[in-house]
Amino acid sequence: MFTNLTRTAGPGSKVAAMAPLLDMKLMLSSDTDDVLVTIREGAVTQCTPGPHVMASYDTRLVATTEAWTEYLAAVPRPGYHDIFALLRAGSIRFEGNLLPMMQNLLYIKRLLASLRPEVTA
């Protein structure tokens, strides 16, 4: 579900250009999937699928598989369009050190949105 981030937000991508000074480890978790995302100089350099034993990360986003699937739809339904909409509905949890996530919130939102299929008119 999340391993395409190395392609959509890897070195040289528009997403990577948004946060050239950001270095962090982001854990994205669902019911069935844990992916440790390594971000160096704004670019996703590695996505390591779990299971992880004592993984070290800065911030972790935990949602159900259903919530992630709805969020990652090409055109998400209302209430699934943003991570804060998911938070308000109780469908996602933020864990760990929230400072790097909040300091780079637009980057994190664009990073996750880069996994959505493109809508063609």
Q: How far, in Å, CA of 21 to CA of 38, rounded?
A: 13
The domain containing residue 32 runs over which residues?
5-113
Domain-embedded: residue 118: no
Answer yes or no: pTM beyond 0.75. Answer: yes
- Number of domains comprising the chain: 1
Find the helix or strand (DSSP H, E) in which 25 lies. Answer: strand 24-29
Q: Would residue 30 count as lying in a domain?
A: yes
What pLDDT shows up at residue 1? Answer: 81
Q: Is residue 66 part of a domain?
A: yes
pLDDT digits (tens, 9 = 90+) for 18-59: 999 999 999 999 988 899 999 999 999 999 998 888 889 999
- Summarised one tens digit per residue, pLDDT across range 99-121 is 999 999 999 999 999 999 886 55
Is there a domain that residue 37 lies in? yes
Q: How far apart, in whole angstroms, are the C-alpha atoms of residue 35 and residue 12? A: 22
Roughly how many angstroms between the first and final C-alpha of the chain, as a whole number?
Answer: 25
